[in-house]
Amino acid sequence: MLRSASGVVAATTCGVGCGHPADPASSRPAGPTDAPSSGVASDRATPAGHAPRGPARFPGLPPRITHGPRGGGAVALTFHGQGDPDLARSLLSEAERAGARVTVLAVGTWLDERPEMARRILDGGHELGNHTMRHRAVCALPADEAYAEITECADRLRRLTGTIGSWFRPSQARTATDLVTHLADRAGYPHVLSYDVDSLDFQDPGPDAVRDAVLGQVRAGSVVSLHFGHTGTLTALPAVLDGLRRRGLRTVTTTELMHSDGVAATAGPGTRTETG
């Protein structure tokens, strides 16, 4: 483990067998390996007051980030973005009622099917990122296919929002291999986002188990892994947010978390400055 001065830890790389089960869409063939295009299509959704953010580079922080600063009094709830859009909307609304902002790592095929969700996420003041195009086991793929998984989703995000998203998280892996970390950087993501708290909500253990898994592990600086598309997660969310509040922990986006102890960032290569 590599520890930076600010307390952010670089995760150890993950083998092929780690991470979550494959999504049904994972059997679709990989697409071309072109890098994300520089053009912005006309269907781009840029909600007023919530300009999307591209990736930030945090000098001095490792390429693989597991958690944020432990002294900032904040945590980040991060959601794997796919599944029933009605559940997703309800979950976002629940977070907003509590004054929480979350980070959504969206699967590209889900954005193809539900492009309006990009606007809904950003309209709520939340953060949007890349969770690969088809949710394949990206750490086990050949380099060209892994790169296509990253860049195709990045292209979807760019078309919809004007940027490639704030973060990249590998699919079916808790942390990225050295190769995938390099490919993500090449695609415009200076840091790859992991997490230090796994809710295991994708196993559908029930809302009480999800709540206990999160509150039993979380501490200041934690990055929590959660999922759209699971009713237990939606049911558990109010209790999770209340438990965090009672501990004096603010729920913020991952980018805000990384800034929570005054760490400075510079614009990454995938960032596009929005004006007006």
The model's pLDDT over 256-274, given as tens digits with 9 standing for 90+, comes to 999 987 655 565 554 332 2
Q: Is the pLDDT of residue 252 over 80?
A: yes
Mean pLDDT over residues 44-48, rounded?
41
SS3 per-residue string spanning the chain: CEECCCCCEECCCCCCCCCCCCCHHHHCCCCCCCCCCCCCCCCCCCCCCCCCCCCEECCCCCCEECCCCCCCCEEEEEEEECCCHHHHHHHHHHHHHCCCCCEEEECHHHHHHCCHHHHHHHHCCCEEEECCCCCCCHHHCCHHHHHHHHHHHHHHHHHHHCCCCCCECCCCCCCCCHHHHHHHHHHCCCCEECCCEECCHHHCCCHHHHHHHHHHHCCCCCEEEEECCCHHHHHHHHHHHHHHHHCCCEECCHHHHHCCCCCCCEECCCCCCCCC
Question: What is the model's pLDDT at position 53?
Answer: 79
Q: Please indicate, yes or no, if residue 182 is contained in any of the structural domains.
A: yes
Pair 158, 123: CB distance under 8 Å:
no
pLDDT in tens, 9-24: 444 334 333 345 443 3
pLDDT at 266: 60
Give the pLDDT of residue 195.
Answer: 98
Domain-embedded: residue 4: no
Residue 30 pLDDT > 80: no
At 135-179, the pLDDT tens digits run 999 999 999 999 999 999 999 999 999 999 999 999 999 989 999
Q: For the chain, give the mean pLDDT.
A: 84
Structural domain includes residue 244: yes
C-beta of residue 78 within 8 angstroms of C-beta of residue 195: yes
CATH number at residue 145: 3.20.20.370
Q: How many domains does the chain have?
A: 1
* Residue 10, domain member (yes or no): no
The reply to whether 91 falls in a domain is yes
Least confident piece of the model among 23-27, 47-51, 254-258: 23-27
Residue 107 resides in a domain:
yes
pLDDT digit string, tens, across residues 195-251:
999 999 999 999 999 999 999 999 999 999 999 999 999 999 999 999 999 999 999
156 located within any domain: yes
Whole-model pTM: value is 0.80
pLDDT for the residue numbered 221: 98
The whole-number average pLDDT for the span 108-118 is: 98
Q: How far apart are CA 254 and CA 173, in angstroms?
A: 19
pLDDT at 51: 66
As a whole number, mean pLDDT of residues 30-39 equals 38
Range(s) of the domain holding residue 132 = 74-267
Q: Is residue 41 part of a domain?
A: no
Which amino acid is residue 244, in one-letter code?
L
Task: Using pLDDT thresholds of 50, 70 and 90, give the confidence band for residue 50.
Answer: low
